[in-house]
Amino acid sequence: MENINICPYCGAKMKLGFIHGDRYCLKWIPEEKDKGIFLQWFAEGIKLGYSIEAFLL
């Protein structure tokens, strides 16, 4: 049986991925484009905020 995750908001199929974060903004990176924690700046992904928010904490 295949495990397919469905988005509860839009009903589309979801992809596996990673969210890497440090002092910069969080970024979601698809599983096939993940380069690891040390090369996360070079991977294309979807930014989940603004970099200025990281400095406000």
pLDDT tens per residue across span 8-57: 889 888 888 888 766 667 778 888 776 666 565 566 777 777 666 555 55
Give the pLDDT score at 25. 74
Give the CB-side neighbour count of residue 11, counting CA atoms within 13 A: 0
Q: Decide: pTM greater than 0.75.
A: no
The tokens for 36 are 């690891």
Give the rounded distance of the alpha carbon of 30 from its chain centre.
7
Alpha helices in 1-57 (DSSP H): 51-55
Rounded to whole angstroms, the Cα distance separating 31 from 47 reads 15
**Hey, is 33 helix, strand or coil?**
helix
